[in-house]
């Protein structure tokens, strides 16, 4: 089955003069494959007439057209946004427990959530579809009863939004008042304690950090008495300890209430830990998305990483595997970057960093809680701030991508990014866009490319996974590894996604201490030693999945957990 998708935002008819209509080879056969919409004046591709040659895709200078062949077994769409618009195929299966959703951005997760909440009625790809037809489409499946209740408005759904940073714009007042108004279940104070929100309880919403906003939004969602809990990206802005606590709270609510819980999550370790089942969404971002059959959590995530869904017999991406690596062997050391003991003391916070050495080319990962000095250390290496105890002169060129990216009022092309990196990170279509108009994920990729495009000896990336979906994180990881191989330079990465750090790192630096008060950083150490130290501080043990070698969290007090704690191997056992 062939579908055509036109991005109405990117289409610039006045500039190109409908070049796609003029160049379509089907015109010569007398078939009008491209017609003009009378209302918008923009092109519509008649899919029954389209031969799928792809000429219009190549001719369009704005990357506004996609012609995609998808498997016939997918069937008719559950929902479609207009002619040549985005299409969603299938719906997830409601189950008692936590149903996890994994997939790229722009692939239908938000549409799916709107349907599950009853906010959006599926149109079955055409105008005039009613609820009776929708329910009939899923006759005999587990979701049929769910949809019948939705059609009668007998299901109460509550939604935790993705972009929690926008909440203070719409929600005013102090945390206590907001949570008390949300508490229709009587479990609010218990959730506040378990999410460690007590210190923020009396604060005003506009004073909260990103991590605090995330936990308040989650608490407000879970404190409501509802039939369905829809939770969108709950780990954003949270450090590793907070992510694990968040996952425990969601699981506990699901087990106690026996209600439906759907969670979209890009951190695969967190998704694995909190989910009972998983749906994979695959397709083409902005064009179409297909929701897979329901799978057990381990099987679903492993198939997602393999890029192949067995029961559907669909290959949607190349495989990604993790290596079980011994401590790094120092074979070819191109350059040693020595830095001295560093100290930085503020009125309410102090950071002490042990002296260390980066033996390039390598990838140095940094792990630690929020507000413990990781960004302060990176800024000292970048020359943004000066240490208190010494004048730091590394005698090398440093390129720095900060944690918080300030968009410039300029076109992306004005940054003069490396053309090879532009293609590798797939940002060519953003070149003529103003940086102020980019989404968080688009701006993140542009900032990473801009950092790597500079001639430097050391590259510093502070939280490069922020705003990126799981697909983009995995691709970014491969691109960074390839960059080190090609350019023989060192990259330092600060991030809270342990799977990303595990996949990337040759060595680790571990930050410990008390958030907002004091921090201490170790010298670089091998991956296994660093992970053991970090996970011991987190009071969590990890194991390797036998099939993909990805890291997985052990259930507390499980046999594996007890064995690893007794042996001192918090990371994994061969």
Last residue of a domain, one of 283, 315, 347: 315
Question: Which are the contacts of 270, defined by CB distance < 8 A and separation ≥ 6?
Answer: 234, 235, 243, 244, 246, 247
Phi, psi dihedral angles at 530 (to 5 degrees): -65, -45
Distances, alpha carbon 505 to alpha carbons 41, 123, 501, in Å: 51, 46, 6
Q: Strand locations in 77-136, DSSP E?
A: 79-80, 87-89, 97-103
Q: Strand locations in 368-501, DSSP E?
A: 398-401, 458-462, 490-494
CATH number at residue 62: 3.30.70.20
Strands 342-345 and 335-339: unpaired
Q: For residue 132, count CB atoms less than 10 angstroms from its CB and return exposed for 0-12, middle for 13-18, buried for 19 or more.
A: exposed
Q: What integer pLDDT is reported at residue 208 of this predicted model?
A: 87
Q: Is residue 261 part of a domain?
A: yes
Last residue of a domain, one of 38, 69, 100: 69
CA–CA dist 97, 252 (Å, integer) = 9
Question: Which are the contacts of 169, defined by CB distance < 8 A and separation ≥ 6?
Answer: none
Greatest extent of the chain over all pairs of C-alpha atoms, in Å: 79
The total domain count for the chain is 3
Owning domain of residue 417: 335-538
Q: What integer pLDDT is reported at residue 508 of this predicted model?
A: 96
Are 236 and 263 in contact by the 8 Å Cβ rule? The answer is no
Query: What are the residues facing 97 on neighbouring strands?
Result: 260
Q: What integer pLDDT is reported at residue 331 of this predicted model?
A: 53
Q: What integer pLDDT is reported at residue 73 of this predicted model?
A: 59
CATH number at residue 429: 3.40.50.300
Same-domain pairing of 294 and 413: no
Same-domain pairing of 238 and 112: yes
Same-domain pairing of 89 and 118: yes
Are 222 and 257 in contact by the 8 Å Cβ rule? The answer is no
Distances, alpha carbon 545 to alpha carbons 301, 322, 552, in Å: 11, 9, 7
Distances, alpha carbon 233 to alpha carbons 44, 92, 270, 289, 374, in Å: 35, 17, 10, 18, 23
Are 275 and 99 in contact by the 8 Å Cβ rule? The answer is yes
Q: Give 26-72 pLDDT, tens digit per residue.
A: 776 777 888 888 777 888 888 878 878 888 888 888 888 888 777 65
Token pair, residue 342, equals 């560093």
Are 403 and 464 in contact by the 8 Å Cβ rule? The answer is no
CA–CA dist 339, 213 (Å, integer) = 36
Q: What integer pLDDT is reported at residue 180 of this predicted model?
A: 95
Q: Is residue 467 part of a domain?
A: yes
Same-domain pairing of 11 and 96: no
Q: What integer pLDDT is reported at residue 25 of this predicted model?
A: 78
Q: Which of 111, 113, 102 is nearest to 307 (CA)?
A: 102
| Number of helices followed by number of strands (H, E) in the chain | 20, 28
Same-domain pairing of 62 and 101: no
Question: Which are the contacts of 479, defined by CB distance < 8 A and separation ≥ 6?
Answer: 421, 424, 425
DSSP labels, 255-321 = HHH--EEEEE-S-HHHHHHH-SEEEEEEEETTTEEEEPPPEEHHHHHHHHHHTEETTTTEE-S----
Cα dihedral 94, 285, 413, 434 sign: negative
Average pLDDT along the chain, 574 residues, taken 10 residues at a time: 80 82 75 81 84 82 80 81 92 96 92 95 92 94 95 95 86 93 95 91 88 94 96 92 94 95 95 96 92 97 94 87 60 80 94 93 94 94 95 92 91 96 93 91 96 97 92 91 93 94 93 93 94 93 91 92 94 71
Token pair, residue 144, equals 């049929």
Same-domain pairing of 471 and 353: yes
Are 254 and 226 in contact by the 8 Å Cβ rule? The answer is no
Same-domain pairing of 269 and 304: yes
Q: Give 134-184 pLDDT, tens digit per residue.
A: 999 999 999 999 999 999 999 999 999 888 888 888 899 999 999 999 999
Residues in the chain: 574
Same-domain pairing of 135 and 160: yes
Give 533-542's long-range contacts (Cβ < 8 A, gap of 24+).
Answer: 534/240, 534/367, 534/368, 534/508, 534/510, 535/570, 535/571, 536/570, 537/510, 537/512, 538/240, 538/241, 538/244, 540/244, 540/570, 541/565, 541/569, 541/570, 541/571, 542/498, 542/570, 542/571, 542/572
Q: Residue 174 gets which letter from DSSP?
A: B
Q: Is residue 30 part of a domain?
A: yes
Q: Is residue 148 part of a domain?
A: yes
Same-domain pairing of 61 and 115: no
Phi-psi domain of 86 (left: phi exceeds 0; alpha: psi -120 through 50; beta: other): beta
Q: For residue 266, count CB atoms less than 10 angstroms from its CB and return exposed for 0-12, middle for 13-18, buried for 19 or more.
A: buried
- At 209 the three-state DSSP class reads coil
Same-domain pairing of 501 and 454: yes
Last residue of a domain, one of 69, 91, 124: 69
Phi, psi dihedral angles at 126 (to 5 degrees): -155, 165
Same-domain pairing of 256 and 349: no
Same-domain pairing of 367 and 443: yes
Q: Is residue 321 part of a domain?
A: no
Q: Is residue 560 part of a domain?
A: no
Q: Which of 506, 514, 95 is nearest to 275 (CA)?
A: 95
Q: What integer pLDDT is reported at residue 9 of this predicted model?
A: 77
Q: Is residue 288 part of a domain?
A: yes
CA–CA dist 301, 470 (Å, integer) = 11
Residue 485, CB-side half-sphere exposure with 13 Å CA sphere:
7
Q: Is residue 75 part of a domain?
A: no
């Amino acid at each position: 089955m062939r579908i055509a998708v036109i991005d109405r935002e990117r289409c610039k008819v006045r500039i190109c003069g409908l070049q796609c209509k003029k160049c379509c080879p089907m015109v010569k056969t007398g078939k009008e494959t491209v017609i003009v919409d009378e209302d918008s004046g923009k092109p519509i591709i008649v899919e029954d007439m389209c031969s799928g040659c792809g000429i219009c895709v190549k001719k369009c200078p704005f990357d506004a057209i996609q012609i995609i062949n998808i498997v016939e077994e997918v069937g008719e769409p559950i929902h479609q946004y207009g002619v040549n618009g985005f299409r969603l195929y299938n719906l997830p299966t409601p189950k008692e427990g936590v149903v996890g959703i994994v997939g790229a951005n722009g692939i239908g997760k938000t549409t799916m959530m709107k349907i599950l909440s009853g906010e959006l009625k599926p149109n079955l790809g055409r105008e005039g579809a009613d609820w009776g037809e929708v329910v009939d489409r899923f006759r005999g499946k587990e979701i049929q009863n769910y949809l019948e209740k939705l059609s009668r408005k007998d299901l109460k759904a509550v939604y935790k939004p993705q972009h929690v940073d926008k909440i203070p714009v719409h929600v005013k007042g102090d945390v206590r008042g907001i949570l008390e108004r949300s508490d229709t279940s009587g479990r609010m104070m218990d959730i506040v304690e378990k999410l460690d929100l007590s210190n923020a309880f009396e604060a005003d919403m506009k004073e909260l950090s990103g991590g605090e906003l995330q936990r308040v939004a989650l608490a407000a969602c879970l404190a409501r008495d509802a039939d369905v809990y829809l939770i969108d990206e709950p780990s954003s802005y949270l450090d590793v300890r907070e992510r694990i606590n968040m996952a425990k709270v969601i699981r506990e609510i699901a087990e106690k209430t026996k209600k439906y819980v759907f969670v979209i999550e890009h951190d695969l370790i967190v998704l694995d830990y909190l989910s009972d089942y998983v749906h994979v969404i695959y397709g083409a971002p902005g064009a179409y998305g297909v929701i897979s059959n329901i799978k057990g959590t381990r099987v679903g995530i492993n198939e997602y990483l393999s890029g192949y869904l067995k029961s559907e017999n669909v290959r949607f991406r190349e495989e990604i595997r993790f290596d079980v690596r011994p401590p790094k062997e120092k074979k070819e050391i191109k350059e040693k970057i020595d830095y001295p003991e560093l100290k930085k003391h503020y009125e309410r916070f102090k950071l002490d960093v042990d002296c260390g050495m980066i033996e390039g080319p390598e990838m140095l990962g940094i792990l630690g809680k929020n507000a413990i000095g990781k960004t302060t250390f990176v800024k000292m290496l970048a020359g943004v701030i000066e240490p208190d105890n010494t004048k730091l002169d590394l005698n090398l060129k440093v390129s720095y991508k900060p944690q918080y990216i300030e968009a410039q009022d300029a076109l992306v092309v004005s940054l003069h990014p490396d053309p090879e990196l532009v293609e590798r990170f797939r940002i060519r279509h953003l070149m003529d866009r103003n940086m102020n108009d980019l989404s968080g994920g688009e701006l993140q990729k542009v900032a990473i490319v801009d950092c790597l495009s500079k001639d430097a000896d050391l590259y510093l990336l502070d939280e490069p996974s922020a705003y990126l979906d799981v697909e983009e994180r995995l691709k970014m990881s491969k691109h960074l590894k390839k960059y080190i191989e090609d350019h023989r330079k060192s990259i330092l990465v600060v991030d809270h996604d342990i799977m990303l750090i595990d996949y990337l790192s040759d060595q680790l630096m571990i930050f410990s201490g008390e958030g907002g008060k004091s921090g201490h950083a170790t010298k670089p150490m091998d991956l296994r030693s660093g992970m053991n130290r970090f996970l011991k501080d987190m009071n969590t043990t990890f194991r390797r999945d036998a099939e993909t070698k990805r890291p997985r969290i052990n259930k507390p007090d499980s046999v594996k957990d007890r064995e690893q704690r007794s042996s001192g191997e918090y990371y994994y056992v061969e």
